[in-house]
Chain A
Amino acid sequence: MNEPEIGTKIARLLDRGLDDMKQGTLNRLESARRASLENYHIRETVVGVDHGHSGQGASARSGHDWYSRTAKLLSAIALLFALASIAYWQTLQQSDENEDIDIMLLVDDLPINAYLDDEFDTWLDHY
């Protein structure tokens, strides 16, 4: 027996097996189908209302759009604020370090390694 023949016979047997399904399972399947279709009918009604009263439908949709746009805008602002805060904090850190070096220079308390650093000499020449 070839593959399509086997396939067809098995499919026929499986079809017959569908009739023996438990009533409880069939009921649950039916309620699952109804639940899915309820959403469909709600959406259909909304679409119907949109077509019938385009002003109301449009305002409802534009209200939803407004909320989603505002949410996106607020997220973008929050992100920008976070980035600006990080940049500001890094600048503060840098100025603190510079301040420490200035103080050490003024009180003549610079570590010996600083004088051995070529970059430090360049920096001193520069100022």
Chain B
Amino acid sequence: MSNFLAEIERRAYKQALFAVRDEHLALDIVQDSMTKLVEKYAAKSLEELPLLFQRILQNTIRDFYRRQKTRSLWTTLFSSFMPRNRETENDEYDLLETLQSDGASNFGKPHEQLEQSQLIGLLEKAIKTLPARQREAFLLRYWEEMNVTETAKIMGCSEGSVKTHCSRAAHALATLLKKDGIEL
């Protein structure tokens, strides 16, 4: 169990960080998920642990979203009495729909400006901008190396939805990186 947790903790943290964009919250989510896994499934075989852990992690992230929605509902209710100064950010923002209308990139050519860490930084930033379900499907499929059936099980959706989310996420990321002068 210890080795398994040590192996997955960094990726789990990054996944949580992409979703919630707050280091402390991401750490809390990972710790919660690890504790739940240990409490409930310590007796399970090592092969079953990745799927179970991912399910717990994604549910914990979704719980965070739910709590945040409830909180923002109250904030919206109260802020409706105040004058509006700026546009609110849309949660279901779709990168593909906005890329075409965006202007020129702020970055130069990668071989001139970007070191590998900068490239990774850009990539992580791009992943953060993906809609939650697309990001979840893409990371589970390609980073966690789950198959379509396992990903669908974790996400609680159909295999077709997983394929659609993955395809859109991959193309969005490739387009965004290309826009920054990075050819994958």
Chain A contact residues, CB within 8 Å of chain B:
1, 3-11, 13-18, 20-21, 25-26, 28-30, 32-33, 35-37, 39-40, 43-44
Contact = CB atoms under 8 A, between A and B. Distances in A.
Interface residues of B, number: 38
A25 B5 contact: no
Interface of B: 1-2, 5-6, 9-11, 13-14, 23, 27, 30-31, 34-35, 37-39, 42, 116-117, 119-120, 123-124, 127, 138, 141-143, 145, 166-167, 170-171, 173-174, 184
A30 B31 CA distance: 10
A6 B174 contact: yes
A45 to B, nearest CB: 12
A55 to B, nearest CB: 23
Contact of A40 (B10, B13, B38, B120): B38
Nearest to B173: A10
A109 to B, nearest CB: 55
A21 B23 CA distance: 12
22 contacts: A3-B167, A3-B170, A6-B170, A6-B174, A7-B141, A7-B170, A10-B170, A11-B143, A11-B145, A14-B11, A14-B14, A15-B143, A16-B120, A17-B117, A17-B123, A29-B9, A29-B30, A36-B34, A36-B37, A36-B38, A40-B1, A43-B42
Contact of A20 (B39, B120, B141, B167): B120
Given A14-B120, A25-B27, A29-B27, A37 B1 contact: yes
A4 to B, nearest CB: 8
Q: Which of B117, B124, B184 has the most CB of A within 10 A?
A: B184
